[in-house]
Amino acid sequence: NAGVTQTPKFRILKIGQSMTLQCTQDMNHNYMYWYRQDPGMGLKLIYYSVGAGITDKGEVPNGYNVSRSTTEDFPLRLELAAPSQTSVYFCASSRGSTGGSYNEQFFGPGTRLTVL
């Protein structure tokens, strides 16, 4: 079991460029999440998905897009990168539960993104 994998590990973008952060999990989890982590700010939820074909916005969705065509993959798309998107991005997954999120989340190793 590889768990949750993310690529790339590091990336530098120029302002206005676009990129896709990849996330794959091999645990057959229904729920998947994208977070960003800024120093001293904890984790902020960008988007989440409760199953293939279903996505929803989190706290900070502006400037990002997601898709969930399969159970395993949950890519995050950055369009028109801005310096404010400089952050560490984490993907996570968890088993779905009927009503609520009481199953623990498994995290990937993160992608460190710098926008210059």
Partner 1 sequence: AQSVAQPEDQVNVAEGNPLTVKCTYSVSGNPYLFWYVQYPNRGLQFLLKYITGDNLVKGSYGFEAEFNKSQTSFHLKKPSALVSDSALYFCAVTAGNNRKLIWGLGTSLAVNP
Smallest separation, CB 75 to partner 1 (Å) = 17
Task: Give the residues lining the site for partner 1 (CB under 8 A).
Answer: 4, 31, 40-43, 45, 48, 50, 58, 90, 92, 99-102, 104-110
Instruction: Please tell me the distance from the alpha carbon of residue 19 to that of residue 8, in angstroms, as a whole number.
Output: 10
Retrieve residue 60's tokens.
């900070």
Which of residues 1 and 14 has its CB atom nearest to partner 1 in the complex? 1
Q: Tell me the backbone φ, ψ of residue 7, rounded to 5 degrees.
A: -140, 145
Which of residues 45 and 52 has its CB atom nearest to partner 1 in the complex? 45
Which of residues 57 and 79 has its CB atom nearest to partner 1 in the complex? 57
Q: Tell me the backbone φ, ψ of residue 41, rounded to 5 degrees.
A: -115, 5
Smallest separation, CB 31 to partner 1 (Å) = 7
Residue with tokens 């590091």: 10
